[in-house]
Structure 1
Amino acid sequence: MGLGNTAKKLQQVVDVADDLYAKINDLKSDLAAMRDTIEETNSRVKSVEDELSDQRELLEEIATAEGIEVDQIDTTDTDSGQTDPEPTDSDQ
């Protein structure tokens, strides 16, 4: 009877190992997909940042051509949604 119990326990260990192996393979697959997504997202963000920079340069050129001082333009802080404070008499 001792061998029967040992074989049973050994089979349980093998079953658990098989399950863990399958889970590890699933995690490896998920991790690879996540890496691909991150790389794609980084590429998209870089593209958007480059486009924004180009648009900003164009707007500054247009403003300069129209005689607008770019440094005096009231801008919005994109991180907090707050606007720059209005210049006071002492600032001018």
Structure 2
Amino acid sequence: MGLGGTAKKIQTVAEKAEQTYEKLTELREEVDDTQEMVADTATRVQRLENEMAEQRAVLDAIAEEVGVDREDVSTDVHIAEAEQDESAAGDGGE
């Protein structure tokens, strides 16, 4: 193999290296974007959890003021959901 063959191989390796570098750069950008999105999502989730806790506290205070037992209401809802789930499962088997 002469110098021409070696030069061609070196050119091919250089092109592959450039393509690999471009792919790695794209991948790094995607990872950075994903990390930013995850951080933003975590912030939003924390804010929503805080808002839910505030709303729960307000609802608990209102329920206590009007004499509603929150646990009884919760139990009733869970029973109704379970019955609905059983009914839906029974309908699907026919």
- Fold shared by both chains (TM-score > 0.5): yes
Correspondence for 2:31: 31
> Could you say what the CA RMSD is over the residues aligned between the two structures, in angstroms?
1.7
CA drift at 1:75: 5.8
Give the TM-score, by structure 1 length.
0.80
In structure 2, C-alpha distance between the alignment counterparts of 1:22 and 1:64, rounded to whole Å: 62
Correspondence for 2:56: 56
Correspondence for 1:74: 74
Secondary structure of 2:13's match?
helix
1:4 aligns with 2:4: yes
CA drift at 1:23: 0.9
Structure 1 residue ranges (4+ consecutive) displaced by more than 2 angstroms after TM superposition = none
| Identical positions, percent | 32
Gaps of 5+ in 1: 77-82, 87-92
1:14 aligns with 2:14: yes
1:84 aligns with 2:81: no
Give the TM-score, by structure 2 length.
0.78
